């Protein structure tokens, strides 16, 4: 009778732990890695001391760059 009790207790413990671990990952929201500007102000980027509006494109030597939601993205072409 004792082995059956040990099995039942172990099973119950496993179910409780499994349920608790499953709850940790439910309803998690990924973090967004950009800063939301205050309402009424368009998002901007500052690149080499110059401020650009979101959606604005510009050149850096022979590379083209753009500002999108506060992040600058540029091509990486080797300039001659």
The percent of residues in the chain predicted with pLDDT above 70, rounded, is: 55
The pLDDT of residue 2: 74
Whole-number Å distance between alpha carbons of 70 and 12: 51
pTM over 0.85? The answer is no
Whole-number Å distance between alpha carbons of 18 and 79: 56
Segments making up each domain of the chain, as ranges:
2-74
Return the minimum-mean-pLDDT range out of 9-13, 18-22, 55-59.
Answer: 18-22
The pLDDT of residue 21: 58
**36 close to 9: Cβ distance less than 8 angstroms:** no
Residue 40 has pLDDT above 80, yes or no: no
């Amino acid at each position: 009778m004792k082995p059956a009790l040990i099995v039942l207790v172990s099973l119950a413990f496993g179910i409780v732990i499994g349920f608790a671990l499953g709850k940790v990952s439910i309803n998690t929201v990924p973090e967004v890695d950009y800063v939301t500007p205050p309402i009424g102000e368009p998002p901007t980027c500052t690149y080499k001391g110059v401020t650009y509006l979101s959606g604005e494109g510009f050149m850096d030597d022979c590379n083209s760059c753009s500002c999108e939601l506060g992040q600058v993205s540029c091509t990486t072409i080797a300039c001659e």
